[in-house]
Structure 1
Amino acid sequence: MLWFLFIGIVAGWLAGLISRGGGFGIWGDLITGVVGSFIGGYAFKFMGIAVYGTIGSIISSTVGAIILLWAIRMFFHTAPAAHKKEE
Structure 2
Amino acid sequence: MSANLTHHARVKHVEIDHHFVREKVLDGTLQVNYVPSANQVVDVLTKPIPLKQFAEFRHALQVTPVNTIDSNDLQERKEPGEC
Question: What TM-score, normalized by structure 2, do the two folds share?
Answer: 0.24
Higher relative contact order (CA 8 A, sep 6+): 1
TM normalised by structure 1 equals: 0.24
Greater radius of gyration (CA): 2
Query: Whose helix fraction is larger, Structure 1's or Structure 2's?
Result: 1
